[in-house]
Amino acid sequence: MTDPSADPHAFIQIEEVYHTRILEDALAAIGVKMKVSDPGVATRVLVRAMVHMPDQVSDVLVLCGEIFGVAVFALLLEKARELFAAQPRALARIEALFAQIMVDEVGHVHFVRSRLSPALVRVARRMAPLVAWGAMRDIPELVALFGRKRIMERMARADVDSEAAPYSDRFLVPTA
């Protein structure tokens, strides 16, 4: 039997559970109670594919999902800054919590991308809209908040490093 602690995917799955808890805390900071429900059909199919397909194929889907996550959390943070500009304590709490998620998401993108050949990265780029469509189908609130076009545009840019650049947990030293 393989040692589960040797599988980095196990740690990524644990982090995804924590991301949900962090999002719940961010919403609680503004008085919103979040209810976690069962995933929709598209998400269940995607997760099953990730689990049962060979790593290279699975990693293509995971990369698409992680880039979607970076795009959505960046949009959510922008919306929070817009809505809570006049409430600095709530905004500071939201920004601190989202920073934890964003740094992890960017790390996941780099980890998965490092496992893919250039050809498979191109496949992921082509599949990303399909994965995003499925996620938006299962989370219609995102579409209502941002619109499909804006989500897809943000995902297409996929500048994951700049999304995490403001956070102090990065090892990069800022240049003057």
- Helix axis angle for 55-83 and 88-114, nearest 10°, is 160
Side-chain-side CA neighbours of 14 within 13 Å: the count stands at 7
Question: What digits encode the pLDDT tens for the residues 16-37?
Answer: 777 777 778 777 777 778 777 7
pTM: 0.79
Question: What digits encode the pLDDT tens for the residues 36-87?
Answer: 778 788 888 877 877 778 888 889 988 998 899 899 989 988 998 998 999 9
Cα 35 to its chain centre, rounded Å, is 19
For CA atoms 145, 147, 151, 153, the dihedral sign is negative
Whole-number mean pLDDT of the chain? 82
